[in-house]
């Protein structure tokens, strides 16, 4: 009888052990535990060392010392469960989170501080529709208001934007799309203008428009001074945004037989519209709180002036400046109230710009959908 030889079963190799992937986001229980331990330990050690053992005092020094201890303890706690790459990632994450928290805290602190000191003026309705033409700086809060300053701010910023936005966007298109012979020289001049202080821009308009041309101090002169500071910001930001448009869109448009102007107008600019709106916002944010050029070329008055071409014209930054330098509590309260209104206007402007220019490229609005439906219906 023949014996059968057993065939050994083939060995299956063990699957390779994959290294543990590093978490790039989210909050894990391990991270929470390490942060809590480092925070409690740093505060305890800082109080023991800084307040008891080391002869040092001061709130700022205490928090700096506690933060250094926090980073040290966080690194030590993370090293118990992570490798050096994970520890480094957690340390950099702590630094970045701290920087963001400091910026947000500073912004919130500014808003809260301004609102707390100006809420007494905001509670009076006359503060928004009256002027200080017949009220002195020591008048009660029930008299006078900032209506003249609001009108001046709206007119000056509007005129400055009307001058700066077309000029800035056209120059950005020239630098990004045309790239003529003077592109390098224009870019150097724009970069030099970015570093020009606003007081120098005010002096330039004062010497050119008021002294040389004989024009009186007015809101128009203030708007021209503000536009000198707004133009380079719009140009620089808009050029960067236009360069981010993919070249494939330009090449596809040119391959269809369109001209360069049609490609820029119908493809490049609509694609970069949200970024261009951001460029305009940065330019407005650069000038909306400026005081020195307005003080030089617009003068100062408490009367309401709707005509920006003739006579001094007040603005909100100038109203705040004049109120804070007056050693009267009521005037200082009005100045803080005007600061709150200025912050609210900035937020409103950003919101409107986001609604108007925030639509993504390729998205068709309801109005355009109805127009397209009517066109298709008529053609069929």
* Domain positions in the chain: 29-121, 147-361
Q: What is the b/e burial string over 320-358, where b = at least 16 CB atoms within 10 angstroms of the residue's CB?
A: bbbbeeeeeebbbbbbbbbbbbbbebeeebeeebeeeee
Tell me what pLDDT residue 135 has.
81
- Predicted pLDDT of residue 9: 56
Q: Which of 315, 272, 284 is nearest to 149 (CA)?
A: 315
Count of CB atoms within 10 A of residue 89's CB? Answer: 16
Whole-prediction pTM value?
Answer: 0.72
pLDDT in tens, the chain (380 residues): 455 555 565 665 666 665 555 555 567 777 888 888 888 888 888 888 877 777 667 778 788 888 888 888 888 888 888 888 888 888 888 899 899 999 999 988 888 998 988 888 888 888 888 888 888 888 888 888 888 888 888 889 899 999 999 999 999 999 888 887 888 888 888 888 888 888 888 888 888 888 888 888 888 888 888 998 889 989 998 888 888 888 888 888 888 888 888 888 888 888 888 888 888 888 888 888 888 888 888 877 888 888 888 888 888 888 888 888 888 888 899 999 998 988 888 777 777 666 765 555 445 556 656 765 676 666 55
pLDDT at 11: 64
Q: Which residues make Cβ contacts (< 8 Å) with residue 350, sequence separation at least 6?
A: 281
DSSP 88-125: HHHHHHHHHHHHHHHHHHHHHHHHHHHHHHHHHHHT-T
Whole-number pLDDT of residue 167? 92
Q: Using CA atoms, how far apart are residues 56 and 58, in angstroms rounded to an integer?
A: 7
Please give the pLDDT value at position 5.
59
Q: What is the distance between the alpha carbons of residues 113 and 117, in angstroms, rounded to a whole number?
A: 6
User: Quick one: pLDDT at residue 275?
Assistant: 82
Which is the CATH superfamily of the domain at 147-361?
A: MetI-like (1.10.3720.10)
């Amino acid at each position: 009888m023949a014996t059968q030889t057993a065939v050994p079963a083939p060995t299956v190799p063990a699957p390779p052990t994959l290294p543990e992937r590093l978490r790039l986001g989210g909050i894990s229980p391990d991270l929470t535990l390490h942060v809590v331990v480092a925070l409690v330990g740093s505060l305890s050690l800082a109080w023991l060392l800084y307040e008891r053992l080391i002869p040092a005092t001061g709130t700022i020094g205490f928090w700096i010392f506690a933060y250094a201890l926090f980073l040290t303890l966080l690194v030590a706690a993370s090293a118990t469960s992570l490798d050096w790459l994970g520890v480094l990632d957690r340390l950099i994450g702590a630094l970045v989170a701290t920087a963001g928290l400091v910026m947000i805290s500073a912004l919130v602190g500014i808003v809260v501080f301004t609102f707390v000191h100006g809420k007494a003026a905001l509670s009076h309705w006359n503060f928004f529709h009256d002027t200080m033409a017949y009220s002195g700086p020591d008048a009660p809060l029930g008299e006078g208001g900032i209506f003249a300053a609001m009108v001046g701010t709206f007119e000056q910023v509007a005129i400055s934007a009307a001058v700066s936005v077309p000029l800035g966007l056209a120059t950005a298109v020239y630098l990004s799309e045309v790239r003529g012979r003077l592109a390098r020289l224009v870019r150097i001049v724009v970069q030099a203008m970015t570093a020009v202080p606003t007081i120098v821009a005010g002096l330039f308009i004062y010497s050119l428009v008021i002294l040389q041309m004989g024009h009186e101090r007015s809101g128009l002169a203030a708007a021209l001074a503000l536009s000198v500071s707004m133009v380079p910001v719009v140009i620089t930001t808009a050029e960067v945004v236009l360069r981010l448009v993919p070249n494939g869109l330009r090449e596809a448009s040119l391959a269809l037989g369109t001209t360069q102007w049609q490609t820029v107008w119908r493809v490049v600019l609509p694609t970069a519209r949200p970024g261009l709106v951001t460029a305009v916002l940065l330019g407005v944010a650069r000038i909306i709180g400026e005081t020195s050029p307005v003080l030089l070329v617009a003068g100062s008055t408490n009367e309401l002036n709707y005509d920006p071409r003739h006579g001094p014209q007040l603005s909100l930054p100038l109203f705040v400046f004049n109120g804070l330098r007056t050693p009267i509590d009521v005037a200082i309260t009005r100045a803080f109230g005007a600061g709150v209104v200025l912050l609210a206007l900035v937020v409103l402007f950003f919101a409107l710009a986001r609604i108007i220019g925030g639509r993504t490229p390729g998205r068709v609005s309801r109005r355009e959908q109805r127009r397209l439906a009517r066109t298709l219906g008529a053609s069929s």
